[in-house]
């Protein structure tokens, strides 16, 4: 994948990262009800026509907001999320057998993503261990006389996230609640692509502000509709 001409090779364009998206892939996304989801990347995936996706994230957005666009246009074959209630298309497709949905409690989902990001294969939890629906087909592990469900870690071929600012190394800061699951999702992708509102020169970000270190970010693209300049210009 050829990035634009910059020293660190992370800052590029949507067109240059679209090659990472393909039918049948596993895609993890940041965001909560659309807030903090990367709109330019999602629109690019739609325009490319990618289908049969396995989507991993907090929810299925709204019909025309965030990841909900992909769900509503039936680009997903499976969703792993904490809820789908804000997108009626997701519920209808699940009911009709056209969308497989794996529900995971929000905190457990976040921890499964975090575990994937730090290289752990699974986590243990007592949440749902006595509930047949929750515990169905999940291994049970006994530790110190107590039983726990084994919840597998989550990773993806590509993670897509949204941030307020990035520097040329890919260090990121977020805008208030848009931070939500983005820092965890950034860690759990084999390739992580950040869509950002502003690209700034090295040294412009206060180290104490940085939430996602650039080591987790492979590519940075500017979001559409925002005035920005390449940091090295």
Q: How far apart are CA 188 and CA 28, in angstroms?
A: 8
Residues 29-53, mean pLDDT to the nearest whole number: 96
Which of the four pLDDT bands, split at 50, 70 and 90, describes residue 2? very low
b/e 86-102 (16+ beta carbons within 10 angstroms → b) = bbebbeebeeeeebebe
| Cα R_g (the chain), whole angstroms | 18
Q: How far apart are CA 95 and CA 142, in angstroms?
A: 35
Catalogue all structural domains in the chain, each as residue range(s) with its CATH number.
14-121+155-201 (3.40.1080.10)
What are the pLDDT digits (tens) for 167-196? 999 999 999 999 999 999 999 999 999 999
The pLDDT of residue 199 is above 50? yes
Q: What is the pTM of this model?
A: 0.91
């Amino acid at each position: 994948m050829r990035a634009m001409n910059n020293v660190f090779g992370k800052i590029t364009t949507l067109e240059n990262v679209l090659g990472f998206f393909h039918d049948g892939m596993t895609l993890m996304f940041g965001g909560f009800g659309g807030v903090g989801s990367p709109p330019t990347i999602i629109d690019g995936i739609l325009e490319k026509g990618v289908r049969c996706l396995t989507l991993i994230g907090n929810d299925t957005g709204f019909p025309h907001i965030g990841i909900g666009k992909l769900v509503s246009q039936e680009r997903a074959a499976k969703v792993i999320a904490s809820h789908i209630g804000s997108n009626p298309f997701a519920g209808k497709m699940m009911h009709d057998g056209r969308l497989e949905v794996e529900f995971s409690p929000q905190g457990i989902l976040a921890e499964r993503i975090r575990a994937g990001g730090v290289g752990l294969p699974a986590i243990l939890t007592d949440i749902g261990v006595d509930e047949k629906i929750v515990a169905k087909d999940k291994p049970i592990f006994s530790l110190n006389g107590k039983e726990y469900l084994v919840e597998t870690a989550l990773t993806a071929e590509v993670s897509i996230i949204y941030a307020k600012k990035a520097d040329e190394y890919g260090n990121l800061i977020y805008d208030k609640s848009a931070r939500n699951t983005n820092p965890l999702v950034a860690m759990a992708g084999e390739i992580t692509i950040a869509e950002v509102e502003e690209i700034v020169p090295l040294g412009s970000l206060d180290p104490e502000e940085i939430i996602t270190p650039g080591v987790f970010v492979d590519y940075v693209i500017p979001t559409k509709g925002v005035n920005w300049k390449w940091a090295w210009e």
